């Protein structure tokens, strides 16, 4: 492995982020949006228990109801001045809070010789797909005794207060397996670290600890992972309390910590993950300001500049959290800085000796403007670049859905009309021949799979907003089905404009995944593709369940089926043929059962199987009602 330059982890003193970008006006929705501002200001619900977190995010966990309150001028800015403020993506403006955990919360002992379990279960050869060959920077990570002693010394120096004296640092072999597991499993899904310049003796300790925490999750050592994560939080908090300057590694560490908090959580996304993401946004502003003026003429500067992919990581996490649960909201506005989209993975993985200055990737604002015109996008996008673009659109759809939705149907209809062109372009990008493969044309790409899943979510939110909202309430509280006829009547009364687009999308993916094998996909989801696509999986089940629950008669054997019903029926038949249960399930429950099976694996992240258990509870409730 090439020696790393410690300056790659440092940033110059941050200044004020550059303000950039002009909002792109959308002619169709402008009049309606402007006309509806006053109504929106007056009618937006604000439950008493809802507090607008400082600065700009809120949660309704206490009440279980939805609502957000915004200053009048900010609503006007969002709806009138930037009704599609996509050229500069989006931002979550940070609060001053920093995560802190008392050292007394740490467990005192370390299982130094914890058993090593297989990282990937043996899977049946159902699909002829391959996975990325491990590069030396991923699978050949080693650690000499001297290097290990240096790492331990770094840890001691990072804890000058002695708050972590009772914490036993992992053994050399534990460090090796955790770092290997991170680069083998998580780095392909969330590539915010540069493997060729990774040097374990130079990586700041809080970042290394969080790398090991994520690696321990993929090593199936959950208790160890949670201990490491708590230590990482503590060390980062100590860094903040010392008033140290912002550096790149802190942004990277915060991203990994936020990822860990979000997907190692219970049913509701914890408030701490949302707060951490808000803090990460502030760090991204500072990081961008510090590196934006560097020349790309040499390898070291290029690597530092390319670390703007951390901002892409922030967008991906924020978009998926924002679209997941009705009770979890960010106020999403136009991001006040632009950045270049991530380079191709093949370029990102090059050592200095093989590196040649690449052609610049397009800026995110330029790319968003082009896609928003509804025209085909010509320039090549990297896997991570495409995922970033799709995530940005998902974030925008989710935020607009919050502000308008069923309460302001004219505004929402105008917005859906404006989004139809961009969504079609995104669909074409995700359906291109290479979209099921990585950039080498051989291996299955977790980034592209995630991009397709987030595009699915865009379809469900854009074209099935009302139905999805009701079904998410049902998922959170299945007892609503006690009065099943009233519930069905409520679903039937929902607006059905464009719902067929959401249904068709859900049915096609449902059939595709049932053909591949639900148990097989469930095993892959945990180790190879990660938890980010969890939301799309359960939303798909909810959309199909809604349709089947309100359809008066639906039989897989009906001869006069519509094309949509034929797709769903074939998918249901595939599920039943896989003998997933001895119980005869209600037809409307089978898509939920399929989603539950894909998310059921408990070996890595906690949140997907928690969602799976919620889906199973709803399946049981549906089977009991008449």
On the question of pLDDT at 160 being above 50, the answer is yes
| Statement: residue 36 has pLDDT above 80 | no
pLDDT(103) > 90: no
Helix (H, G, I), strand (E, B) or coil at 207: helix
- Examine the pLDDT at 541 and tell me if it is beyond 80: yes
Q: Using the predicted structure, report yes or no on whether residue 205 has a pLDDT greater than 90.
A: yes
Rounded CA-CA distance 567/550 in Å is 17
User: What would the pLDDT profile of 109-120 be if each residue is shown by its tens digit?
Assistant: 333 333 333 332
Distance CA 595, CA 617 (A): 13
Measured distance CA(602)–CA(606) in Å, rounded: 6
Given strand 328-330, what is the order of strands in its sheet? 51-53, 57-59, 328-330
pLDDT at position 204: 94
What's the confidence (pLDDT) of residue 209? 97
What's the confidence (pLDDT) of residue 224? 96
Residue with more model confidence, 323 or 569: 569
Q: Considering Cα of 68, then 69, then 72, then 77, what sign does the dihedral take?
A: negative
Q: What is the DSSP string of 143-173?
A: --HHHHHHHHHHHHHT-TT-TTTTPPPPPHH
Q: How far is it, in rounded angstroms, from Cα 591 to Cα 212? A: 36
pLDDT computed for residue 486 by the predictor: 64
Alpha carbon of 301 to those of 230, 296, 337: distances in Å? 33, 6, 20
Q: For the CA atoms of the chain, what is the radius of gyration? A: 24
Q: For the residues 244-248, what does the mean pLDDT come to? A: 71
Residue keyed to tokens 């106020």: 331
Model pLDDT, residue 175: 97
- For 141-154, the pLDDT digits (tens) are 889 999 999 999 99
Give the model confidence (pLDDT) of 64-78 as tens digits: 333 333 443 443 343
Domain boundaries, the chain: 7-18+91-336, 465-624
Q: Say which range, 21-30, 241-250, 375-384, 535-544, has the weakest mean pLDDT.
A: 21-30
Dist. CA 464–CA 500, nearest whole Å:
8
Taking alpha carbons only, the member of 147, 140, 260 closest to residue 212 is 260
In the block, residue with structure tokens 């005192």: 108
d(C-alpha 41, C-alpha 554), whole Å = 43
pLDDT tens track for 173-186:
999 999 999 999 99
Contacts of 149 (CB under 8 A, 6+ apart): none
Q: Are 334 and 81 in contact (CB under 8 A)?
A: no
Query: 182 Cβ partners below 8 Å, 6+ apart?
Result: 211, 212, 214, 215, 218
Residue 104 pLDDT: 32
Measured CA to CA, the distance from residue 492 to residue 490 in angstroms comes to 5
* 282-305 pLDDT tens trace: 777 777 777 777 788 889 989 988
- What pLDDT shows up at residue 592? 96
418 vs 147: CA distance, rounded Å: 56
CB neighbourhood size of 24 (10 A): 17
Structure-block tokens of residue 625: 């009602």
Range ranked top by mean pLDDT from 86-100, 157-171, 557-571: 157-171
Average pLDDT of the chain? 74
What number is the average pLDDT over the span 158-169?
A: 89
pTM for the predicted model, two decimal places? 0.78
Q: 107 pLDDT exceeds 60?
A: no
- Residue scoring higher pLDDT (212 or 491): 212
Q: Phi and psi dihedrals of 182, rounded to 5?
A: -60, -50
Of 333 and 543, the structure prediction assigns the larger pLDDT to 543
């Amino acid at each position: 492995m090439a020696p790393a330059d410690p300056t790659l982890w440092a940033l110059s003193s941050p200044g004020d982020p550059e303000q950039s970008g002009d909002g792109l006006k959308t002619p169709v929705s402008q009049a309606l949006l402007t006309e509806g501002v006053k109504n929106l200001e007056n009618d937006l619900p604000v439950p008493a228990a809802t507090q607008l977190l400082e600065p700009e995010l809120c949660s309704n966990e206490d009440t279980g109801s939805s609502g957000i309150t915004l200053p009048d001028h900010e609503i006007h800015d969002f709806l009138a001045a930037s009704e599609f403020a996509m050229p500069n993506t989006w931002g979550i403006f940070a609060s001053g809070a920093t995560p802190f955990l008392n050292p007394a919360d740490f467990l005192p002992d370390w299982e130094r010789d914890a058993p090593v379990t297989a990282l990937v279960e043996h899977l049946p050869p159902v699909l002829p797909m391959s996975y990325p060959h491990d590069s030396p920077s991923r699978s050949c990570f080693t650690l000499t005794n001297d290097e290990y002693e240096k790492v331990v010394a770094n840890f001691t120096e990072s804890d000058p207060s002695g708050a972590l004296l009772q914490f036993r640092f992992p053994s050399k072999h534990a460090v090796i397996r955790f770092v290997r597991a991170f680069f083998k499993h998580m780095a392909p899904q969330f590539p915010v670290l540069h493997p060729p310049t990774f040097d374990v003796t130079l990586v700041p300790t809080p970042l290394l600890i969080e790398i090991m925490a994520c690696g321990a999750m993929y090593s199936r050592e959950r208790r160890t992972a949670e201990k490491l994560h708590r230590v990482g939080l503590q060390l980062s908090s100590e860094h903040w309390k010392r008033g140290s300057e912002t550096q790149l590694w802190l942004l990277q560490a915060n991203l990994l910590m936020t990822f860990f908090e979000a997907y190692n959580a219970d049913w509701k996304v914890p408030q701490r993950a949302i707060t951490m993401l808000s803090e990460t946004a502030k760090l991204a502003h500072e990081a961008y300001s510090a590196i934006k003026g560097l020349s790309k003429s040499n390898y070291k500067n290029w690597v530092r500049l390319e670390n703007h992919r951390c901002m892409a990581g922030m967008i991906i996490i924020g978009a998926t959290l924002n679209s997941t649960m009705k009770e979890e909201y960010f106020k999403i506005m136009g991001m006040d800085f632009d950045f270049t989209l991530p380079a191709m993975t093949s370029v990102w993985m090059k050592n200095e000796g093989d590196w040649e200055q690449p052609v610049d990737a397009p800026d995110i604002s330029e790319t968003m403007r082009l896609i928003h015109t509804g025209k085909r996008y010509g320039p090549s996008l990297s896997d991570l670049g495409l995922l970033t673009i799709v995530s940005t659109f998902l974030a925008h759809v989710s935020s607009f859905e919050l502000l308008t939705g069923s309460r302001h149907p004219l505004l929402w209809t105008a917005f859906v009309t404006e989004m139809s062109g961009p969504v079609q372009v995104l669909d074409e990008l995700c359906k291109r021949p290479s979209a099921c493969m990585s950039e080498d044309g051989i291996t299955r790409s977790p980034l592209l799979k995630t991009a397709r899943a987030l595009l699915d979510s865009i379809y469900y939110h854009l074209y099935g907003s009302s139905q999805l909202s009701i079904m998410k309430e049902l998922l959170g509280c299945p007892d609503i089905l006690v009065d099943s006829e009233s519930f069905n009547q409520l679903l039937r009364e929902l607006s059905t404009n464009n719902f067929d687009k959401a249904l068709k999308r859900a049915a096609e993916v449902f059939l595709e995944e049932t053909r591949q094998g639900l148990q097989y996909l469930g095993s892959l989801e945990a180790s190879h593709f990660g938890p980010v696509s969890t939301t799309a999986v359960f939303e798909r089940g909810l959309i199909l369940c809604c349709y089947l629950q309100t359809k008066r008669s639906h039989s897989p054997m009906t001869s006069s089926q519509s094309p949509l019903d034929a797709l769903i029926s074939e998918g249901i038949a595939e599920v039943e043929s896989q003998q997933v249960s001895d119980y005869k399930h209600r037809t409307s429950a089978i898509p939920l059962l399929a989603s539950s099976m894909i998310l059921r694996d408990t070996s890595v992240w906690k949140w997907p199987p928690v969602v799976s258990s919620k889906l199973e509870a709803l399946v049981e409730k549906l089977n009991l009602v008449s």
